[in-house]
Amino acid sequence: MKQNLALFDLDNTLLAGDSDYNWSVFLISEGLLDGAQHKARNEQFYEDYKNGCLDIYAFLKFQLQPLSQHPKAFLDELHKKYMTNVIRPMMTQKAQDLVNQHKANGDLCMIITATNSFVTKPIATAYGIEHLIGTDPEMVDGQYTGGVSGTPSFQQGKVTRLNEWLAARGQSLADFEKSYFYSDSHNDLPLMKLVTNPVAVDADPKLTAYAQGQGWPIISLRN
C-alpha cells in the first residue's frame, strides 16, 4: 500500500500564533533590536502577508539581517529562551494530537513554512516532525549573512521547494496514496490546490471562503 504525505503549515496552523512575527517582537524585548524603528515595519510586513501582497524578498532582507549581527552559538542559545517563553505556549494539544495521528498511521510528515529554518527547525523538532522546508538563511563560514539561500518557501515557492525535495528522494506527489496539507492562509492556495486532501485550519477569511466553495474540511486546532 502506498504511503500518505502529511504537510503542515506552521504559523497560525500548528502554532496558535506566528513564529516569524513574534521572533522580531522577542528580539525587541531582549534589547537586540530598536523597538521604535523595528516594530512598525514588522507590523506592516505582517499586514502585507495577511493581505496577500507581501514582498517576500523585502521582508526577508528585514527579517534575516539581525541574524548576521550575532554568532551562531549566541543565536542558538537565544532561540532556546524563545522556545520556552514564546513558542511553547503557542503549541496546542490538538495540533500535537493531529501530528501524532499522522505519524501513527505511518504517513510521511513535514512542516512546510515561509518562516526561515533557523526559527522553525527547533519548533519542528519539538512537534516530533523530522522533515522541514523553510526559507533557508544563507550561511558563509558558519555565520549568517542576512541573505537567502535558494527559493523562499512562500506561495508558489512552497510548490517549487516541495517538488525539489521529493525529486531528490526519487518521488513526486503522485507517488502518495493521499497527500494532506493543513494551512490557515490563502497564501498557501497554490500548494493546497495540488494535494488530494487540503484542510483549512483556523483559516483567514479568504481561505475560509475558498474552502467553503470547494467543500474542503475546515477545522480548528486551538484549545
Active-site residue, from 11, 107, 136, 184: 11
| 125/42 Cα distance (integer angstroms) | 26
Mind spelling out the 3-state secondary structure of the chain?
Answer: CCCCEEEECHHHHHECCCHHHHHHHHHHHCCCCCHHHHHHHHHHHHHHHHHCCCCHHHHHHHHHHHHHHCCHHHHHHHHHHHHHHHHHHHECHHHHHHHHHHHHCCCEEEEEEEEEHHHHHHHHHHCCCCEEEEEEEEEECCEEEEEEECCCCCCHHHHHHHHHHHHHCCCCHHHCCCEEEEECCHHHHHHHCCCCEEEEECCCHHHHHHHHHHCCCEECCCC
Annotated catalytic residue 9:
yes
Active-site residue, from 9, 18, 107, 188: 9
| 2/66 Cα distance (integer angstroms) | 44
Annotated catalytic residue 184:
no
Catalytic residue numbers read: 9, 11
